[in-house]
Amino acid sequence: MQNNTFSTLFVGQNLIRLSAVDSTNNFLKRMVSNSEPLPEGTVIMADNQYAGRGQQENTWHAEPGLNLTASIFLKPAFLPVNRQFRLNMAISIAIRNALKTWVGGHITIKWPNDIYFLERKLGGILIENSISGNQYKTAVIGVGINVNQLVFSPQQVKTAVSLNEILQENVNLIELLAEVCNHIEGQYLRLKGNSDDLTKDYLSGLYKFGQIATFKDKNGPFKGVIENVTPDGALVVATAGSTKAYNFKEIEFITGTSEERIEKL
């Protein structure tokens, strides 16, 4: 479906809206695998995503018709394969900035892919890359944001939040998607051009960056401070005695007040 309501050059100009799908990322990847070329910036939006996925195959639950579940097709062939995390940075900055236009502030990205409002999860990002040899071919950007959902599962009720809960009013999903697409396009074009300050911008909105926090790795809990994220996406955490870079799933945040809660990164 051609779309003329988004004020973008290409992201969202080819918008396909589905009533139900297993996963917008899966649907878009199936389209990419077909022989017909797909325009860069194509967006798949689903009213009901019944088998959504998060990082490392975690399940993403979204109540039908109430949340934003969408995927965006990009061709970042200009990026070196060993710098593909820079796309994650650009997308994270874009979604953070888009959401700040709605709530004003307190939006952070919890490494590597969660979207937070204060201490609660507002959404998530899942980027699936296609690489051939040393060539970065395509990227499917999955975005899930809790929008108008007010009832969460018992496991999520203390950790999840929605825009409706924050703003105390319904949010139009298409208007939100248009804002997200506009910011993603802007940051993507920035990534193509002069993106020297991208890491600094990313770190400025990173959850717990520069703060003493409690973590857990294979050796147990410890206090540390997030100092950086490496070009290939590892989280650099400093402790009293050393500094170490952690890859995905090698470290956990330990959060909570009266009742300690562990959240896997």
**Is 231's pLDDT higher than 70?**
yes
Lowest mean pLDDT among 21-35, 115-129, 251-265: 251-265
Q: Note down the domain range covering 251.
A: 212-260
pLDDT over 90, % of the chain: 75
> What pLDDT was estimated at residue 257?
40
DSSP per-residue letters across 45-78: EEEEETTEE-GGG-EE---TTTSEEEEEEE--TT
Sign, Cα dihedral of 95, 96, 97, 100: positive
pLDDT reported for residue 157: 66
Counting the structural domains of the chain, the total is 2
Among the listed residues 139, 123, 129, the one whose alpha carbon sits nearest the alpha carbon of residue 75: 139
Residue 229 belongs to domain with CATH number: 2.30.30.100
**pLDDT digit string, tens, across residues 74-130:** 999 999 998 999 999 999 999 999 999 999 999 999 999 999 999 999 999 999 999
Report residue 104: phi and psi, to 5°: 90, -40
CATH number for the domain spanning 146: value is 3.30.930.10
- Structural domain contains residue 95: yes
Coil vs helix vs strand at 81: helix
For tokens 């950790």, what's the residue? Answer: 159
- Is 111 within the bounds of a domain? yes
Q: Which residues contact 181 (CB under 8 A, 6 or more apart)?
A: 6, 8, 11, 12, 41, 43, 72
CA dihedral 110, 244, 58, 253 (to 10 degrees): -50
Position 262 pLDDT exceeds 70: no
Q: 3-state class of 159 per DSSP?
A: coil
* Three-point CA angle 140, 194, 10, nearest 5°: 40
Given the DSSP bridges, would you call strands 107-110 and 114-117 parallel, antiparallel or unpaired?
A: antiparallel
Q: What share of the chain is helix, strand, coil (3-state, %, to 5)?
A: 25, 35, 40
End-to-end CA distance of the chain: 36
212 SS3 class: strand
Q: How far is CA 204 from the centre of its chain?
A: 16
| Domain match, 141 and 163 both | yes
Residue 6 falls inside a structural domain: no
Helix/strand/coil for 93: helix
The closest of 196, 189, 243 to 215, measured between CA atoms, is 243
Q: Are residues 94 and 196 in the same domain?
A: yes
Tokens of 128: 């699936």
For residue 88, being part of any structural domain is answered with yes
Q: Are 89 and 175 contained in the same domain?
A: yes
Q: What is the pLDDT of residues 178-229, one digit of tens each?
A: 999 999 999 999 999 877 799 999 999 999 999 999 999 999 999 999 999 9
Nearest to 64 by CA among 45, 43, 44, 50: 50
- At 153 the pLDDT is 77
Residue 70 lies in a domain: yes
Per-chain mean pLDDT for the chain: 89
Q: What are phi and psi of 212, to 5 degrees?
A: -70, 125
